[in-house]
Protein backbone atom coordinates (compact mmCIF):
# COMPACT_ATOMS: atom_id res chain seq x y z
CA UNK A 1 0.00 0.00 0.00
CA UNK A 2 2.85 2.36 0.84
CA UNK A 3 4.55 1.56 -2.46
CA UNK A 4 1.33 2.21 -4.38
CA UNK A 5 1.01 5.63 -2.73
CA UNK A 6 4.67 6.57 -3.22
CA UNK A 7 5.09 5.37 -6.81
CA UNK A 8 1.58 5.76 -8.26
CA UNK A 9 -0.65 8.18 -6.35
CA UNK A 10 1.99 10.75 -5.36
CA UNK A 11 3.51 11.11 -8.87
CA UNK A 12 0.01 11.42 -10.37
CA UNK A 13 -0.97 14.19 -7.97
CA UNK A 14 2.36 15.96 -8.42
CA UNK A 15 2.12 15.82 -12.23
CA UNK A 16 -1.39 17.30 -12.05
CA UNK A 17 -0.05 20.14 -9.91
CA UNK A 18 2.86 20.73 -12.30
CA UNK A 19 0.44 20.93 -15.25
CA UNK A 20 -1.07 24.06 -13.70
CA UNK A 21 2.27 25.89 -13.74
CA UNK A 22 4.73 27.26 -16.23
CA UNK A 23 7.32 24.99 -14.67
CA UNK A 24 10.87 24.90 -15.96
CA UNK A 25 13.60 22.60 -14.76
CA UNK A 26 15.59 25.58 -13.55
CA UNK A 27 13.96 28.69 -12.15
CA UNK A 28 10.81 29.45 -10.19
CA UNK A 29 7.49 28.01 -11.42
CA UNK A 30 4.69 30.41 -12.34
CA UNK A 31 1.06 29.49 -11.74
CA UNK A 32 -0.92 29.65 -15.00
CA UNK A 33 -4.05 27.69 -14.07
CA UNK A 34 -5.50 25.75 -16.99
CA UNK A 35 -3.62 27.78 -19.62
CA UNK A 36 -1.50 24.78 -20.61
CA UNK A 37 -4.66 22.78 -21.33
CA UNK A 38 -6.27 25.69 -23.19
CA UNK A 39 -3.19 26.14 -25.40
CA UNK A 40 -3.26 22.43 -26.19
CA UNK A 41 -6.91 22.24 -27.15
CA UNK A 42 -7.68 25.62 -28.76
CA UNK A 43 -5.27 25.23 -31.67
CA UNK A 44 -2.55 27.49 -30.28
CA UNK A 45 -0.19 24.55 -30.69
CA UNK A 46 -1.00 23.01 -34.11
CA UNK A 47 1.79 20.46 -33.68
CA UNK A 48 -0.22 18.79 -30.89
CA UNK A 49 -3.08 17.85 -33.22
CA UNK A 50 -0.59 16.59 -35.79
CA UNK A 51 1.07 14.25 -33.30
CA UNK A 52 -2.35 13.20 -32.00
CA UNK A 53 -3.33 12.27 -35.57
CA UNK A 54 -0.03 10.42 -36.01
CA UNK A 55 -0.70 8.45 -32.85
CA UNK A 56 -4.26 7.62 -33.92
CA UNK A 57 -3.11 6.43 -37.36
CA UNK A 58 -0.41 4.30 -35.80
CA UNK A 59 -2.80 2.88 -33.20
CA UNK A 60 -5.43 1.91 -35.79
CA UNK A 61 -3.07 0.14 -38.20
CA UNK A 62 -0.85 -1.38 -35.51
CA UNK A 63 -3.72 -2.72 -33.39
CA UNK A 64 -5.62 -4.10 -36.39
CA UNK A 65 -2.60 -5.86 -37.89
CA UNK A 66 -1.47 -7.11 -34.49
CA UNK A 67 -4.81 -8.75 -33.75
CA UNK A 68 -5.15 -10.26 -37.24
CA UNK A 69 -1.61 -11.67 -37.33
CA UNK A 70 -1.62 -12.92 -33.74
CA UNK A 71 -5.01 -14.62 -34.19
CA UNK A 72 -4.01 -16.34 -37.42
CA UNK A 73 -0.67 -17.49 -35.99
CA UNK A 74 -2.26 -18.68 -32.73
CA UNK A 75 -4.87 -20.72 -34.62
CA UNK A 76 -2.17 -22.15 -36.88
CA UNK A 77 0.02 -23.13 -33.92
CA UNK A 78 -3.00 -24.74 -32.28
CA UNK A 79 -3.52 -26.89 -35.37
CA UNK A 80 0.18 -27.82 -35.49
CA UNK A 81 0.34 -28.85 -31.83
CA UNK A 82 3.14 -30.70 -30.06
CA UNK A 83 6.71 -29.56 -29.59
CA UNK A 84 6.83 -27.79 -32.93
CA UNK A 85 4.10 -25.39 -31.80
CA UNK A 86 5.97 -24.76 -28.55
CA UNK A 87 9.16 -24.05 -30.51
CA UNK A 88 7.45 -21.48 -32.72
CA UNK A 89 5.78 -19.83 -29.72
CA UNK A 90 9.23 -19.30 -28.21
CA UNK A 91 10.53 -17.90 -31.52
CA UNK A 92 7.65 -15.44 -31.78
CA UNK A 93 8.00 -14.42 -28.13
CA UNK A 94 11.76 -13.72 -28.21
CA UNK A 95 11.37 -10.13 -29.55
CA UNK A 96 9.01 -9.35 -26.66
CA UNK A 97 11.70 -10.01 -24.06
CA UNK A 98 14.65 -8.51 -25.95
CA UNK A 99 15.52 -4.84 -25.28
CA UNK A 100 13.37 -2.54 -27.38
CA UNK A 101 16.22 -0.09 -27.90
CA UNK A 102 18.45 -2.82 -29.34
CA UNK A 103 15.65 -4.00 -31.61
CA UNK A 104 15.04 -0.47 -32.87
CA UNK A 105 18.73 0.01 -33.66
CA UNK A 106 18.82 -3.24 -35.63
CA UNK A 107 15.71 -2.24 -37.57
CA UNK A 108 17.22 1.17 -38.26
CA UNK A 109 20.23 -0.50 -39.88
CA UNK A 110 18.01 -2.92 -41.81
CA UNK A 111 15.77 -0.15 -43.14
CA UNK A 112 18.61 2.13 -44.17
CA UNK A 113 18.49 3.14 -47.83
CA UNK A 114 21.34 0.70 -48.48
CA UNK A 115 20.34 -1.75 -45.75
CA UNK A 116 19.38 -5.40 -45.78
CA UNK A 117 15.72 -4.86 -46.69
CA UNK A 118 16.39 -2.75 -49.79
CA UNK A 119 19.27 -5.03 -50.81
CA UNK A 120 16.91 -8.01 -50.69
CA UNK A 121 14.27 -6.11 -52.67
CA UNK A 122 16.96 -5.20 -55.21
CA UNK A 123 17.72 -8.89 -55.75
CA UNK A 124 14.04 -9.34 -56.62
CA UNK A 125 14.21 -6.44 -59.06
CA UNK A 126 12.27 -4.09 -56.80
CA UNK A 127 13.52 -0.60 -56.03
CA UNK A 128 13.16 -0.22 -52.29
CA UNK A 129 11.83 3.05 -50.85
CA UNK A 130 13.66 5.41 -48.53
CA UNK A 131 11.99 3.83 -45.51
CA UNK A 132 13.08 6.36 -42.91
CA UNK A 133 13.25 9.45 -45.14
CA UNK A 134 9.69 9.33 -46.50
CA UNK A 135 6.76 10.52 -44.39
CA UNK A 136 4.57 7.66 -45.63
CA UNK A 137 7.13 4.86 -45.48
CA UNK A 138 8.50 5.99 -42.11
CA UNK A 139 5.10 5.32 -40.54
CA UNK A 140 4.92 1.96 -42.33
CA UNK A 141 8.37 1.09 -40.96
CA UNK A 142 7.28 2.12 -37.47
CA UNK A 143 4.21 -0.13 -37.64
CA UNK A 144 6.23 -3.07 -38.98
CA UNK A 145 8.92 -2.79 -36.33
CA UNK A 146 6.39 -2.42 -33.51
CA UNK A 147 4.35 -5.35 -34.80
CA UNK A 148 7.42 -7.59 -34.92
CA UNK A 149 8.38 -6.50 -31.41
CA UNK A 150 5.08 -7.18 -29.63
CA UNK A 151 2.95 -9.60 -31.66
CA UNK A 152 4.41 -12.60 -29.80
CA UNK A 153 2.71 -11.52 -26.58
CA UNK A 154 -0.76 -11.67 -28.13
CA UNK A 155 0.08 -14.99 -29.79
CA UNK A 156 0.78 -16.50 -26.37
CA UNK A 157 -2.38 -14.98 -24.81
CA UNK A 158 -4.60 -16.14 -27.67
CA UNK A 159 -2.92 -19.54 -27.63
CA UNK A 160 -3.89 -19.88 -23.98
CA UNK A 161 -7.44 -18.89 -24.90
CA UNK A 162 -7.56 -21.55 -27.61
CA UNK A 163 -6.31 -24.17 -25.16
CA UNK A 164 -9.30 -23.41 -22.93
CA UNK A 165 -11.78 -24.27 -25.69
CA UNK A 166 -13.33 -27.68 -25.08
CA UNK A 167 -12.10 -30.03 -27.86
CA UNK A 168 -15.47 -31.79 -27.87
CA UNK A 169 -17.11 -28.57 -29.05
CA UNK A 170 -14.78 -28.36 -32.04
CA UNK A 171 -15.25 -32.06 -32.75
CA UNK A 172 -19.02 -31.64 -32.71
CA UNK A 173 -18.68 -28.78 -35.21
CA UNK A 174 -16.60 -31.01 -37.49
CA UNK A 175 -19.17 -33.79 -37.26
CA UNK A 176 -21.85 -31.28 -38.27
CA UNK A 177 -19.88 -30.68 -41.47
CA UNK A 178 -18.60 -27.16 -40.83
CA UNK A 179 -15.58 -25.99 -42.81
CA UNK A 180 -12.52 -24.26 -41.32
CA UNK A 181 -13.84 -20.73 -41.96
CA UNK A 182 -17.32 -21.45 -40.64
CA UNK A 183 -15.87 -23.30 -37.65
CA UNK A 184 -13.72 -20.28 -36.82
CA UNK A 185 -16.48 -17.68 -37.18
CA UNK A 186 -19.25 -19.69 -35.50
CA UNK A 187 -17.35 -21.63 -32.82
CA UNK A 188 -13.76 -20.53 -32.21
CA UNK A 189 -14.24 -16.76 -32.41
CA UNK A 190 -17.11 -16.55 -29.88
CA UNK A 191 -15.22 -18.77 -27.41
CA UNK A 192 -11.98 -16.86 -27.99
CA UNK A 193 -13.62 -13.42 -27.73
CA UNK A 194 -12.68 -12.79 -24.05
CA UNK A 195 -8.99 -13.29 -24.86
CA UNK A 196 -9.37 -11.17 -28.00
CA UNK A 197 -11.02 -8.41 -25.99
CA UNK A 198 -8.15 -8.42 -23.50
CA UNK A 199 -5.62 -8.25 -26.35
CA UNK A 200 -7.54 -5.43 -28.02
CA UNK A 201 -7.62 -3.29 -24.88
CA UNK A 202 -3.98 -3.85 -23.97
CA UNK A 203 -2.69 -3.45 -27.53
CA UNK A 204 -4.57 -0.18 -28.06
CA UNK A 205 -3.34 1.23 -24.75
CA UNK A 206 0.21 0.23 -25.69
CA UNK A 207 -0.18 1.87 -29.10
CA UNK A 208 -1.07 5.22 -27.55
CA UNK A 209 1.91 4.97 -25.19
CA UNK A 210 4.48 4.18 -27.90
CA UNK A 211 7.74 6.02 -27.36
CA UNK A 212 10.94 3.98 -27.73
CA UNK A 213 10.26 2.86 -31.31
CA UNK A 214 9.81 6.32 -32.90
CA UNK A 215 12.49 7.81 -30.66
CA UNK A 216 15.12 5.27 -31.69
CA UNK A 217 13.96 4.53 -35.23
CA UNK A 218 13.03 7.91 -36.72
CA UNK A 219 13.40 10.55 -33.98
CA UNK A 220 9.85 11.51 -34.92
CA UNK A 221 10.80 12.41 -38.48
CA UNK A 222 10.90 13.16 -41.25
CA UNK A 223 9.35 16.40 -40.08
CA UNK A 224 6.79 15.42 -37.46
CA UNK A 225 5.39 12.52 -39.51
CA UNK A 226 6.17 9.85 -36.90
CA UNK A 227 6.16 11.98 -33.77
CA UNK A 228 3.73 10.32 -31.36
CA UNK A 229 2.07 12.00 -28.42
CA UNK A 230 4.44 10.48 -25.84
CA UNK A 231 7.50 11.43 -27.91
CA UNK A 232 6.07 14.95 -28.22
CA UNK A 233 5.53 15.00 -24.46
CA UNK A 234 9.16 13.96 -23.93
CA UNK A 235 10.46 16.64 -26.28
CA UNK A 236 8.39 19.36 -24.64
CA UNK A 237 9.53 18.37 -21.17
CA UNK A 238 13.19 17.55 -21.68
CA UNK A 239 14.20 19.27 -24.92
CA UNK A 240 12.29 22.54 -24.49
CA UNK A 241 12.20 22.58 -20.68
CA UNK A 242 8.39 22.90 -20.51
CA UNK A 243 7.60 20.54 -17.65
CA UNK A 244 4.18 22.05 -16.96
CA UNK A 245 3.16 21.81 -20.61
CA UNK A 246 4.45 18.23 -20.81
CA UNK A 247 2.45 17.29 -17.71
CA UNK A 248 -0.68 18.76 -19.30
CA UNK A 249 -0.06 16.61 -22.40
CA UNK A 250 0.29 13.56 -20.15
CA UNK A 251 -3.07 14.23 -18.52
CA UNK A 252 -4.78 14.80 -21.87
CA UNK A 253 -3.34 11.47 -23.02
CA UNK A 254 -4.58 9.83 -19.83
CA UNK A 255 -8.12 11.11 -20.44
CA UNK A 256 -8.04 9.98 -24.10
CA UNK A 257 -6.89 6.47 -23.18
CA UNK A 258 -9.46 6.20 -20.39
CA UNK A 259 -12.28 7.29 -22.72
CA UNK A 260 -11.24 4.81 -25.42
CA UNK A 261 -10.98 2.03 -22.85
CA UNK A 262 -14.39 2.92 -21.42
CA UNK A 263 -15.92 2.75 -24.92
CA UNK A 264 -14.33 -0.65 -25.44
CA UNK A 265 -15.73 -1.99 -22.17
CA UNK A 266 -19.15 -0.56 -22.98
CA UNK A 267 -19.11 -2.18 -26.42
CA UNK A 268 -17.87 -5.60 -25.33
CA UNK A 269 -21.43 -6.73 -24.56
CA UNK A 270 -22.12 -6.82 -28.30
CA UNK A 271 -19.38 -9.27 -29.25
CA UNK A 272 -17.63 -10.78 -26.22
CA UNK A 273 -19.03 -14.12 -25.07
CA UNK A 274 -18.17 -15.21 -21.52
CA UNK A 275 -20.30 -18.37 -21.68
CA UNK A 276 -18.04 -21.37 -22.07
pLDDT above 90: percentage of residues in the chain: 63
CATH number of this structure's domain 46-270, picked from the four choices 1.20.120.80, 3.40.50.300, 1.10.3720.10, 3.30.70.20: 1.10.3720.10
Contacts within 8 Å (CB) and 24+ apart, 33-39: 36/244, 36/245, 36/247, 36/248, 37/248, 37/251, 37/252, 39/245
44 DSSP β-pair partners:
none
121 pLDDT higher than 80? yes
Q: Which of 1-10, 92-101, 190-199 has the lowest mean pLDDT?
A: 1-10
pLDDT band of residue 276 (cuts 50, 70, 90) is low
Highest-scoring range by mean pLDDT, 109-113, 154-158, 221-225: 154-158
Q: Residue 22 in contact with residue 34, Cβ under 8 Å?
A: no
Q: What is the mean pLDDT of residues 166-180?
A: 83
Give dist(CA 178, CA 79) in Å, integer.
16
Q: What is the mean pLDDT of residues 103-121?
A: 90
31 DSSP β-pair partners:
21
Q: What is the CA radius of gyration of the chain?
A: 22
Q: Domain ranges in the chain?
A: 46-270
Supply the pTM of this predicted model.
0.93
The confidence score (pLDDT) of residue 7 equals 83
Q: Residue 89 in contact with residue 159, Cβ under 8 Å?
A: yes
Q: What is the mean pLDDT of residues 84-90?
A: 91
Q: For 212-250, how does the pLDDT look when each residue is reduced to its tens digit (9 = 90+)?
A: 999 999 999 898 999 999 999 999 999 999 999 999 999
Q: For 3-57, how does the pLDDT look when each residue is reduced to its tens digit (9 = 90+)?
A: 888 888 898 899 999 999 998 878 788 899 999 999 999 988 889 999 999 999 9
Amino acid sequence: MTGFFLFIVLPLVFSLIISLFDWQLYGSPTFVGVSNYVNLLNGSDPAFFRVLLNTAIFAIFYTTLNLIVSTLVAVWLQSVGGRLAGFFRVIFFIPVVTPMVANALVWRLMLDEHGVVNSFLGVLGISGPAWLASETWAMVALVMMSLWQVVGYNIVVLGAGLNNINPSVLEAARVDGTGPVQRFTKVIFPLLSPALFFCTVMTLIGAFKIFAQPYMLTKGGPGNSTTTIVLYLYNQGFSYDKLGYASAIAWVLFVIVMLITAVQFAGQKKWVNYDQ
